[in-house]
Every structure is written in structure tokens, then in C-alpha cells.
């Protein structure tokens, strides 16, 4: 690795530019520290239902959330119920599910509930045509997972066609098509927290295409960190999920010193 990298207490490597950015925001209050869950606070695993948290990363985020004038948030495309089952009930971290649509209870009208149910059952039929596919039900739609199918492009196209026909919006992620009614996205969720907290700065970590909405709302004072390489609007990148705990621990160390 190049000369632009320096070690830190955790033994992992953080780019010197990212270190300087974290040094700077560590001194700002109120500070919003927000992170995606899958692939960031949890390693990507073959079975999406088994996405157990990276305990070191989660512990660092929780400890940040305990600090004064510091607000910790985990934002996920998963339902709030699923996210809560992975992270556990917590006062230190605010959990936000379904791309920002679920935070403090979601009002779902009877009409929408019927459309959601119909979409979920149609996607279930698509999944049966593509063995290995799975439908994750959400309050305002569903996620169609196709990591294990033999014809992934065809399965994804079929799921998108079904969603579009039902009037749902689709978001393509890593081997998943999110099919949602309404227009919640992670960027709106972050903007809402920034406004509510009057945050002086935001740190956001994400690994997937849906996190680009969050990176897009960040300003000059903020620190967007893409986890893994690939096109991104984030100003900083770390190589992969194993680096996340080091980043959060570094921020924690700077904010408490
Ligand atoms: Mg993710």
C-alpha cells in the first residue's frame, strides 16, 4: 500500500485524508454518525437472514451514541423489525428501517396494505420460478433477493417488471431488487436527522447503491465513506467491511480525547 496510509491503534489502515477528516469532525457538535447495516455494520453473508453484526463496529457506534452531542443512527433497507432483531433493542443507536420510511412507526393505509400484499404475493410467484430466490416482506413493499439463482439477470428483470406493473418503485442493490411504494430514501432520512439535531457535521458509511442517496445530501463539513471500491459520490473510501470498526473506533478515540 502507498505512503498515503498510516496505521492507528486498531492495527488497521486508514487513509491519511480520511484521518484528517475524522480529526476535524470529531471536534464538531452536534455530530451525527450514521451507518448502513448490511456490508458495513455487518459482513455480507450468503444468507441475508443471517446478517449478524460486526460486534466491534457496533460497539464503537454504540459508544459514540453515548457521548454528549453525538447521535448514532443505523439506516437500513431492511424492515425496522429485521434491523432491530440483528442489532437488538438499543437506546444509544437510533434504528431506521426500509430506507428511512420506518423510524417511529409507519402509518400504512388499508389500500396501501392491500397493494403491498399483492406485490409480495406476485414476487413470491417469481421467486418460485427461480429456485434460490427469496422475498423479504417489508411494510411498504418487499426485497427480492436473487444471490443464489442460476439465472440472476432474468430473475431480477422479472422482479422489476412485476414491481413496475404494480406501481412500486425499484432500487437495485447487491443481488437484491427493492420494490417499494412511496419515495423514502436514505438521503431524505439523513436530511431529516440533520435538521432535527441541527447537526454541525455528519459522518455516513455505506456500501451499496442506495447509500449514494445519503452521500448525495452531504455537504462540505461532512464525511461520506464508501465501504468497498466502486463508483461513489462519497469523498472517502475504505477497502471493505473489516475496516469499518477501525474507522468508528478512530472517531470515538478522537472524540473522547
Ligand atoms: Mg449495505
> Over the chain (257 residues), what is each successive 10-residue block's mean pLDDT?
41 82 98 97 86 95 98 92 92 89 62 88 97 92 95 97 92 92 85 93 96 96 96 96 97 96
Model pLDDT, residue 238 = 96
**How far does residue 210's CA lie from ligand 1's centre (Å)?**
8
Same domain, 166 and 194: no
Are 199 and 85 contained in the same domain?
A: yes
Q: ∠ CA 180-41-56 to the nearest 5 degrees?
A: 165
Q: Which of 180, 205, 240 is the last residue of a domain?
A: 180
Instruction: Compute, in angstroms, the gap from residue 84 CA to the centroid of ligand 1.
Output: 16
Residues 190 and 89 in one domain: yes
Assess whether 78 and 14 both reside in one domain. Answer: yes
pLDDT score at 159: 98
* Per-residue model confidence (pLDDT) at position 4: 40
Whether the CB-CB separation of 136 and 170 falls below 8 Å is answered with: no
pLDDT at position 140, please?
84
Residue 110 C-alpha to ligand 1 middle, in angstroms?
30
End position of a domain, from candidates 157, 180, 203: 180
Cell numbers describing residue 255:
472524540
Q: Provide the domain limits for residue 117.
A: 110-180
The answer to whether residues 170 and 198 belong to one domain is no
Pick the last residue of a domain from 150, 180, 210. 180
Active site residue 222: no
Specify whether the CB–CB gap between 118 and 134 falls below 8 A: no
**Do residues 125 and 61 both lie within one domain?**
no
Let me know: does 238 contact 248? Beta carbons within 8 Å: no
Q: Are residues 32 and 139 in the same domain?
A: no
Whether 82 and 11 share a structural domain: yes
Does 27 share its domain with 97? yes
- How many domains, the chain? 2
At 107 the pLDDT is: 56
At residue 195, the pLDDT reads: 92
- Among candidate residues 15, 17, 36, 38, the one labeled active-site is 36
> What is the C-alpha separation between 64 and 59, in angstroms, rounded?
9
**HSE (CB half, 13 Å, CA atoms) of 10?**
18
Same domain, 97 and 198: yes
Same domain, 188 and 97: yes
Q: Can you give the CATH number for the domain in which 215 is found?
A: 3.40.50.1000
Domain identity same for 165 and 188: no
Distance from residue 205's CA to the centre of ligand 1 (Å): 9
Amino acid at each position: 500500500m502507498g505512503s498515503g496510509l498510516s496505521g492507528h491503534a486498531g492495527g488497521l489502515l486508514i487513509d491519511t485524508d480520511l484521518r484528517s477528516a475524522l480529526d476535524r469532525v470529531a471536534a464538531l457538535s452536534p455530530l451525527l454518525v450514521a451507518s448502513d447495516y448490511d456490508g458495513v455494520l455487518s459482513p455480507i453473508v450468503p444468507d441475508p437472514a443471517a446478517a449478524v453484526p460486526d460486534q466491534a463496529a457496533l460497539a464503537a457506534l454504540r459508544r459514540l451514541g453515548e457521548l454528549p452531542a453525538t447521535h448514532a443512527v443505523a439506516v437500513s433497507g431492511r424492515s425496522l423489525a429485521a434491523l432491530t432483531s440483528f442489532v437488538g433493542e438499543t437506546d444509544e443507536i437510533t434504528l431506521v428501517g426500509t430506507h428511512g420510511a420506518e423510524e417511529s412507526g409507519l402509518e400504512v393505509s388499508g389500500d396501501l396494505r392491500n397493494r403491498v400484499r399483492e406485490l409480495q404475493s406476485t414476487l413470491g410467484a417469481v421467486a418460485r420460478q427461480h429456485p434460490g430466490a427469496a422475498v423479504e416482506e417489508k411494510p411498504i413493499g418487499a426485497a427480492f433477493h436473487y444471490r443464489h439463482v442460476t439465472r440472476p439477470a432474468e430473475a431480477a428483470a422479472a422482479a422489476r417488471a412485476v414491481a413496475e406493473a404494480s406501481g412500486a418503485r425499484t432500487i437495485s442493490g447487491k443481488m437484491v431488487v427493492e420494490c417499494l411504494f412511496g419515495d423514502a430514501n436514505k438521503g431524505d432520512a439523513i436530511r431529516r436527522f440533520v435538521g432535527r439535531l441541527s447537526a454541525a457535521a455528519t459522518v455516513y458509511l455505506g456500501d451499496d447503491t442506495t447509500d449514494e442517496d445519503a452521500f448525495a445530501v452531504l455537504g462540505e463539513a461532512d464525511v461520506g465513506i464508501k465501504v468497498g471500491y466502486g463508483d461513489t459520490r462519497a469523498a472517502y473510501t475504505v477497502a471493505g467491511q473489516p475496516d469499518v470498526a477501525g474507522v468508528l473506533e478512530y472517531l470515538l478515540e478522537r472524540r473522547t480525547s
